[in-house]
Amino acid sequence: MDFLRTAPHRRLNPLTGEWVLVSPHRTERPWMGQREARAGTDVPAYDPDCYLCPGNRRAHGAVNPHYPYTFVFDNDFPALLPESEGEKIDRDGLMVGEAERGICRVICFSPRHDLTLARMTVKDIARVVGVWAAQYRALGALDGIGAVQIFENRGDMMGASNPHPHCQVWATGALPNEMAKELASQSAYWRAHGSALLVDYLRLEREAGERIVFENDHFTVLVPFWAVWPFETMVLPRRHVGAIDELTTEESTALAAALSQLTIRYDNLFETPFPYSMGFHQKPTDGEAHAEWQLHAHFYPPLLRSATVRKFMVGFEMLGSPQRDITAESAAARLRALPATHYLATA
Ligand SMILES: [Zn+2]
Ligand SMILES: [Zn+2]
């Protein structure tokens, strides 16, 4: 297994069937540990121009309530509409198109414009987890909704339009690509082994230990063996469970604590509010049991070496396969060694 540390190699992502090229010999280049000035203190608690802050007016005239914790509303500019209709087209399998129905919502995590998950209390994050569970259940129960995708885009670098802490929920008729790939892989594994792919994978990771960032009583956070982004992580429940709404109260709190701890470590890495796209993959809501599915979250952060030096997916990565220099093992070691208290709290 020594080649995993020293020689160029590729690793398979068993969830998607895709490969990542790893080039550990290139990280022997010295790392300058460049740091920007401590960032994250210049955002106001309330912004009169923010369309997510309490009491403010949104597009089309709606006014936000003075919400004390969380706030959910239908996206004013939704990518999907509930009543999209049209005849499916299929020209010799070469030009295929069909209408897609869906619902897009926004969930504000907090009335405070300046907070992030990393700076919210575990108790307040647990309220957000409760809203995720309720939204997954309510949207998933609607006729014709096959999947509920909860995701957060954090930071300018990820194209997030507003620093106010919030996420989105897109409920779709069809399974999106990533879900479809993961369903196919998890189903095939279930048929072959009679157990869940990610449950067995987590057991291997806990035996190995070197890619684990931290654990609490019910969740493990790790850098997956096949990670593409430099500090990519997965959040995995230790019990076999398909969706957030199946978690016990204690498990929901443990999930909130894991998200708090992970986002604090991310912010501490370069002492900057850490940009990322994150989201939960929960079992499809097509009415099937989906025993093969294991709930998990992916965090995909773009930063590589500092608050401003990011990874780009270009060149060989666009045309061939993704590639990384820093190994999953050394990324996990870096994250594991970071302080568990937020840098702004200790400033
Ligand atoms: Zn705001
Ligand atoms: Zn996934």
Mean pLDDT of 123-137: 98
Does the pLDDT value for residue 31 go beyond 80? no
- For the chain, what percent of residues have pLDDT higher than 90? 78
Catalytic residue flag (residue 166): yes
* Extended strands (E) in 60-146: 71-74, 89-91, 95-97, 102-108
pLDDT for the residue numbered 38: 56
- Active-site residue identified among 113, 164, 166, 290: 166
Cβ(124)–Cβ(67) under 8 Å? no
pLDDT band at 347 (very low <50, low <70, confident <90, very high): low
Distance CA 167, CA 151 (A): 6
Q: Are strands 219-222 and 212-215 parallel, antiparallel or unpaired?
A: antiparallel
The one-character DSSP state at 101 is B
| Span from the CA of 24 to the centroid of ligand 1 (angstroms) | 42
- Supply the pTM of this predicted model: 0.94
Q: How far is the CA of 277 from the centre of ligand 1 (A)?
A: 19
Kindly give the pairing relationship between strand 233-237 and strand 276-281.
Answer: unpaired
Q: Is the pLDDT of residue 67 over 50?
A: yes
- Rounded distance, CA 249 to CA 261, Å? 18
Per-residue pLDDT tens digits for 279-338: 999 999 999 999 999 999 999 999 998 888 899 999 999 999 999 999 999 999 999 999
SS3 89: strand
- Burial label for 111, CB within 10 Å (0-12, 13-18, 19+), is buried
- Going by pLDDT thresholds of 50, 70 and 90, the confidence category of residue 346 is low
Ligand in closest contact with the CA of 180: 2
- The per-residue pLDDT for 33 is 43
Residue 22, strand partner residues = 9, 324
Q: Which ligand is nearest to the CA of 115?
A: 1
Mean pLDDT of the chain: 92
Q: Does the pLDDT value for residue 28 go beyond 60?
A: no
Q: How far is the CA of 165 from the centre of ligand 2 (A)?
A: 23
Q: Which ligand has the minimum distance to the alpha carbon of residue 43?
A: 1
Write the CA distances from 150 to 135, 202, 213, 312, integer angstroms: 9, 22, 23, 24
CA of 35 to the centre of ligand 2 (A): 32
Say if residues 175 and 284 touch (Cβ distance below 8 Å).
Answer: yes
Residue predicted with more confidence, 222 or 161: 222
- The model's pLDDT over 81-90, given as tens digits with 9 standing for 90+, comes to 888 888 888 9
- Cα-to-chain-centroid distance, residue 2: 31
> Do residues 118 and 267 make contact, with C-beta atoms less than 8 angstroms apart?
yes
Ligand 1 centre from 53 Cα, in Å?
Answer: 4
Q: Is 166 helix (H, G, I), strand (E, B) or coil?
A: strand
Question: Quick one: pLDDT at residue 30?
Answer: 46
233-265 pLDDT, tens digit each: 999 999 999 999 999 999 999 999 999 999 999
Ligand 2 is an ion; its neighbours by CB within 5 Å are 182, 281
pLDDT tens across 89-104, in order? 899 999 888 888 899 9
**Cα 268 to middle of ligand 2, angstroms:** 25
Q: Measured in angstroms, how far is the CA atom of residue 63 from the centroid of ligand 1?
A: 13
Candidate from 86-100, 173-187, 271-285 with smallest mean pLDDT: 86-100
Residue 315 Cα distances to 23, 230, 288, angstroms: 15, 17, 40
